[in-house]
Amino acid sequence: MHDIAPQLSNFIELNWIIVTYLFFVGFVGGLVSGFIGSGGAFVLTPAMMSLGVPGLVAVASNMCHKFPKALVGAIKRAKYGQVDLKLGLIFGIFAEAGVMYGAHVQEVIKNTFGNDGSNLYVSVIFVLVLGIVGTYVLKDAYGTYRSGTTEAKEKTTKIARWVQSVNIPIPGTMIYFRSLNAKISILFIIPLAFATGLLAATIAVGGFIGVPSMIYVLGAPSIMASATELVVAFVMGFGGSLKYAIHGLVDIRLAMIILAGSLFGVQLGAIGTTYVKAYMIKVVMGLIMVIVLFSRGLMVPVYMSHLGLIQPITEGTQKILKNTSFAIMLFALFLGAFIVLKAIWQGLREERMAAKEVMSPDKI
């Protein structure tokens, strides 16, 4: 493997407009994170790329900003007994292997095809992942809305029951996990964790695989799966950040600015969850994913043109595509912020009205 020498060309110039935009991006990412229980990286990485940040640098910087936040979240939720530390550490170790391999793939692509190759790789994976996950989330939200229920009773899936029933006679592979209340073989965990790390190294979003796999394949309750994923995110993020930083691909300026914004946003986002129905959280998540998908998708032909994979696109057309992609990205950010903040505002107003009604003379 050829090391990537640190290059100043990896990093964009910052001015007050870009810093403000990045802080806002971090704020919205935090809002989304607190509101839907996701890291918000599916917003943050494309938003950085829309400024001209190379895809690999955006992924590396995003990963760097996430792992300290994941550590704080894991410690906080562990106090409520929601974290399965054993599962998180074992899952995280094998996920780290996926991160290392994914980072190697990223480096090879960048060395071979340059920033355009890396940008194309990251963008295509984003389009595919957001298309699949976003569609599923919106479909699930519609189903929840039609059913008229706010919460669905969790049931262990057939595959999870099978995984928990299999006793593999290989010494040291069968381990008891508190969140599953069962012994399972780590041979089932390894491919799930590796895939989680591979995706995290590619687009800085591993939870799209990690959390569902814990719930649907291993049989963990959703609240414990999301909390345990924070441990996994810390392990992956710490190792991945060091790996990328050694090659000069972490822009610590971007990481710190979006982290500052997200620390504000995550608190408000968490408050917003107390005022909305369950399906609205899914609607917000699905809508933002689909909108961001179009933002990244518009840039795919630009990168393909630069690499000579398709007929050259004129400078004027490229400019239109870039500006449209950026505008759609801004729309996704403002829409997410508007929906969450509106939910908080309406919830607070309803609380005040209810309090006034209780305190009115007619009620005393």
Q: Rounded CA gap, 96 and 92, in Å?
A: 6
CA pair distance 193, 206, nearest whole angstrom: 9
CA atoms within a 13 Å half-sphere pointing along the CA-CB vector of 320: 6
- Structure tokens that stand for 57 in this block: 């640098």
Tokens of 39: 């890291």
Quote the CA–CA distance of 69 and 91 in Å, as a whole number: 19
Q: Cβ distance 39 to 274 under 8 Å? A: no
Write phi, then psi, for 176 (nearest 5 degrees).
-85, 135
Q: Which residues of the chain carry a pLDDT beneath 70?
A: 1-10, 34-40, 144, 148-154, 270, 272-279, 281, 359-364
Nearest to 180 by CA among 209, 148, 157: 157
Sequence-ordered strand ranges (E) for 26-172:
none
pLDDT in tens, 179-218: 898 999 999 999 999 999 999 888 877 777 888 889 889 9
Q: What is the pLDDT of residue 333?
A: 81
Domain boundaries, the chain: 14-357
pLDDT at 38: 58
pLDDT tens digit string along 78-115? Answer: 888 888 999 999 999 999 999 999 999 998 998 899 98
Q: How far apart are CA 202 and CA 106, in angstroms?
A: 7
Provide the token pair at 21.
């935009």
pTM: 0.79
Task: Look at the chain and count its residues.
Answer: 364
Closest alpha carbon to 43 in 253, 249, 234, 262: 262
